[in-house]
Amino acid sequence: MWRRISSQLLLLAGLLVLGAMAPATLFGAPGNHTRDVIVEDFDIVVPAAEGCSGEDVHVFGTLDLIIQTTTDSRGGLHVVFHLTPHLTGVGLSTGLEYNAVGPTQTVDFVDGTGPRVTVAVNAIRLISPGSSDNLAITETIHVTVNANGTTTVEFDNVNAACRG
């Protein structure tokens, strides 16, 4: 359940940009550029089985997502996703705190006349103080839209693990 909740932001953004645009819309379009900024609340509990300290970890805060799209004169679509986490993790038994580090960025290109494939890896690292292990949350997204504009493949996997 927590996997589905945590992945809504990037999957939704990818579908909005790639799934909603028919190839005919892109082909022959004049060059243009858009930039959208989204701030999304993030609130999940990583189960003890996937956490570092043998306890559930509450991860909460916001994610800043910047989506830039450029349509070139040949109908190609260039998409840049830049995600910056502003998250804190708190162990629900011990109160151990984790702080998120690093942005994630993906760059995609869509040919104006054919299928579109988006693959993204979102890696959120939650760093603990001292010698405690760090919590790594990794999300892998894949969306394929065929030449008719129909989404044919769509998955979003989220995993959490300890890293020393």
Cα–Cα distance for residue pair 140/17, rounded to 1 Å:
17
pLDDT in tens, 77-117: 888 888 898 999 998 998 988 888 877 878 777 776 777 77
Helix (H, G, I), strand (E, B), or coil: what is residue 149?
A: coil
Cα–Cα distance for residue pair 149/144, rounded to 1 Å:
9
Helix (H, G, I), strand (E, B), or coil: what is residue 70?
A: strand
The whole-number pLDDT of residue 43 equals: 92
**Which parts of the chain have pLDDT scores under 70?**
1-31, 112
- Segments of 1-93 assigned E as strands: 32-46, 57-71, 77-91
Give the number of other Cβ atoms within 10 Å of residue 4's Cβ.
Answer: 11
CA diameter of the chain: 58
Instruction: Determine the residue type at 33.
Output: H
Cα–Cα distance for residue pair 35/20, rounded to 1 Å:
17
CA separation, residue 103 to residues 3, 106, 123 (Å): 20, 10, 8
- pTM, two decimal places: 0.63
